Amino acid sequence: MKIGIYGYGNLGRGIESAAKQNSDVELIAVFTRRDPETVKTITGVPVYSAGDILDFKDKIDVLIICGGSATDLPEMTPALAANFNVVDSFDTHAKIPEHFTNVDNAAKSAGKIALISAGWDPGMFSLNRLYASAILPEGSDYTFWGKGISQGHSDAIRRIDGVLDARQYTVPIESALDAVRSGSNPELTTREKHLRECYVVAKEGADLARIEKEIKTMPNYFADYDTTVNFISLEELKRDHSELPHGGFVIRTGKTGFNKEHNHTIEYSLKLDSNPEFTGSAIVAFARAINRMHSRGDTGCKTVFDIAPADLSVLSGEELRKKML
Amino acid sequence: MKIGIYGYGNLGRGIESAAKQNSDVELIAVFTRRDPETVKTITGVPVYSAGDILDFKDKIDVLIICGGSATDLPEMTPALAANFNVVDSFDTHAKIPEHFTNVDNAAKSAGKIALISAGWDPGMFSLNRLYASAILPEGSDYTFWGKGISQGHSDAIRRIDGVLDARQYTVPIESALDAVRSGSNPELTTREKHLRECYVVAKEGADLARIEKEIKTMPNYFADYDTTVNFISLEELKRDHSELPHGGFVIRTGKTGFNKEHNHTIEYSLKLDSNPEFTGSAIVAFARAINRMHSRGDTGCKTVFDIAPADLSVLSGEELRKKML
């Protein structure tokens, strides 16, 4: 399978790394909106201007689009699906139905296939919510995130006057996880589920008390959480907080039995040293699946819910039944 | 969806209970090889002789076969797949390829669809092994079972001279789980992964020391494990060990990165008060999926690997994308 990467940031590099680990995958080109002369890939894969993408119409089996969900993907994915089989990791949950319709129309008209919202959330976490709720129709779902870096929250801190750089960790609260696992079906407030830990590098002479207050009272991002703010040096930030770990938990508890007398807990968890590399690895597996589906004549927009798991694996159906069933 | 249950033991009752929890599922008949007069269902569903099954050829969408893997299912599933869409929970891992071929031939000739090896292991655990290995191609898989009752091991103890009744719990060893989760990729012996806890009711005057020795030295079942034997009264057995809990863990650890510098852990776990009710609940969801696949023209033998997750849910694709993605 020949793949291309459209957009070369953290996720693009994660896909480049994943392509190296999958012997049936060949990464043939990276496309950028920047000047291609200024972009060098880690494995030496050639870089082209995004404007030249149509020259590759017959050279790429699946194009993986690595753009932002806010403004890039709503435009890029439908446009590119008119000429390529594509995968994106669109993660604005509320706008998924609209994005699905736009991509579906574009892909169907062109006889192409597209997969939106691939990765781990949306992605593997969504799949686990679906499997668990299908098996235990009477129950409750809980999703916890972390411990991990939230790029959105880190960016929000960086925009505060007097802040040079910052990292924000989302931390699930252990006692809340335990309450959920017990099957007691707790109703949890935002504050009870996650903590927010901030590591902030302030500019020289900045008013630290004001910065801390601005962080802790920021609506939507921090006001509803117990937030800790730690001021550290730039050296400490680079030494201790330069990685992008993440992870989380999807838990469903439910009851069965003629008198609902039996409790069950289904738990799926991820502990990831590198969020973009894990996301890239998941996306490459899903790209394999849609490439196979397209070769069987399938077109239009798909989500992870529409992918038969066997299509994700490099192994044949026969090998899978023998080794993994 | 109209379903039938073929074989009315613990699993059959688990499916009867699950059918009650799924509004789109109607259980219309139970079939037994015993005298139907002697079998009463919990919800009052009528019981028929297994010999009358062909009278229901056009009245059942999916027939769920609840037989043993050793001798029942290898015969039953291919025979019944010649006239019905069927699901079984065949769990003799080594014989799955042969069973698949036999069922596939029968179902394809008849234009029917069949799903073999549904449940949680094989079943949900298999799916998690597949997803995790597709995402992290360079890594290791570990499966732990328990804490839970193993019927096979309990039966093996009951066959010992002087034993009136017995329950055996398979217990995963916490330190082994922690070593796996750490990503240290340990090589674990059988003894290091699981303990075996036995609760035994001896006949009056039986030689307890001999029974304990026979259990602990029994090849395949106990000799390779650290086994504890507790002699209890029949009253204690009934009071404290009459349920059928089970569960377990599927863990994959793997590396990503241009220098394999990042570790990842994917963990799926189940904690089940009732093994047969959870298995029955999973099977009902998979029965829904194959019924939909058959109505779209699909035939032949399938496994859980071939089922697109969306087909398991009572929700539409649109609802799933809105609520669960």
- Give 10-residue mean pLDDT values along chain B (325 residues): 98 98 98 97 98 97 96 97 98 95 98 98 98 98 97 95 98 97 93 98 97 97 97 98 98 97 98 98 98 98 98 98 96
Instruction: From residue B17, give the alpha-carbon distance in Å to each of A53, A184, A256.
Output: 56, 22, 7
Helix-helix angle B124-135:A124-135, to 10 degrees: 180
Cβ–Cβ contact A143 with B under 8 A: no
Looking at residue B288, what is its pLDDT? 98
Q: Nearest CB to A262: which of B20, B262, B274? A: B274
B264 interface with A at CB cutoff 8 Å: yes
Q: What is the pLDDT of residue A199?
A: 98
Query: What's the whole-model pTM score?
Result: 0.97
Chain pair A-B, CB pairs under 8 angstroms? 215
Determine the pLDDT at residue B41. 98
pLDDT in tens, B244-295: 999 999 999 999 999 999 999 999 999 999 999 999 999 999 999 999 999 9
- 3-state class (DSSP) for residue A131: helix
* Nearest-by-CA chain B residue for A42: B258
Q: Which DSSP letter does residue A87 get?
A: E
Q: Quick check: B325 and A133 CB within 8 A?
A: no
Interface check A95 vs B, CB under 8 A:
no
Q: In what side-by-side order are the strands of the sheet with A139-145?
A: A139-145, A246-256, A262-272, B262-272, B246-256, B139-145
CA-based nearest distance A198→chain B, Å: 23
Nearest to A303 among B136, B277, B321 (CB): B321
Residue B270 has what pLDDT?
Answer: 98
> What pLDDT, on a 0 to 100 scale, did the predictor assign at position A54?
98
* CB nearest to B325's CB, from A14, A126, A312: A126
Cα nearest neighbour of A117 on chain B: B325
Say yes or no for a CB contact (<8 Å) between B270 and A264.
yes
> Which chain A residues touch B301 with a CB distance below 8 Å?
none
Contact A122 B325 (CB under 8 A): yes
Cβ neighbours of A14 in B, within 8 Å: 256
Query: Who among B270, B312, B321 is closest to A96 (CB)?
Result: B321
How far apart CA B26 and CA B111 sit, in angstroms, is: 23
| Chain B residues near residue A303 by CB distance under 8 angstroms | 310, 320-321, 325
First to last CA, chain B: 26
Q: Taking CA atoms, what residue in A is nearest to B130? A: A324
**Phi (first) and psi of residue B106, to 5 degrees:** -65, -45
Quote the CA–CA distance of B201 and B80 in Å, as a whole number: 40
For chain B, what percentages of helix, strand and coil (3-state, to nearest 5) are there?
A: 40, 25, 35
**Pairing label, strands B148-149, B139-145:** unpaired
Cβ within 8 Å, pair A21-B137: yes
Binary contact (A305, B310; C-beta < 8 A)? yes
- CB nearest B306 (choices: A17, A131, A310): A310
Contact B325 A303 (CB under 8 A): yes
Of B21, B126, B305, the CB nearest to A308: B305
Q: Which residues of chain A have pLDDT under 50?
A: none
Q: Does B165 touch chain A (CB under 8 A)?
A: no
Q: Which of residues 184-223 of B touch A (CB under 8 A)?
A: none
Tell me how far apart the alpha carbons of residues B254 and A81 are, in angstroms, rounded to a whole number: 32
Average pLDDT score over chain A: 97
Q: State how far residue A94 is from chain B, nearest Cα, in angstroms.
A: 7
Residues of A within 8 A of B310 (CB-CB) are: 130, 303, 305-306
Interface of A with B in 106-135 (CB under 8 A): 117, 122, 124, 126-131, 133-135
Looking at CA atoms only, how far is residue B197 from chain A in angstroms? 22
Judged by CB atoms closer than 8 Å, whether chains meet at B18 and A324 is answered as no
Cα(A24)–Cα(B146) distance, rounded to whole angstroms? 37
Q: List, for residues B148-171, the tens digit of each pLDDT value.
A: 999 999 999 999 999 999 999 999
Taking contacts as CB-CB distances below 8 angstroms, the residues of chain A near B138 are 21
Cβ-based contacts of B308 with chain A (< 8 Å): 305-308
Determine contact: A98 vs chain B, CB below 8 A: no
CB B295: neighbour CB atoms within 10 A?
12
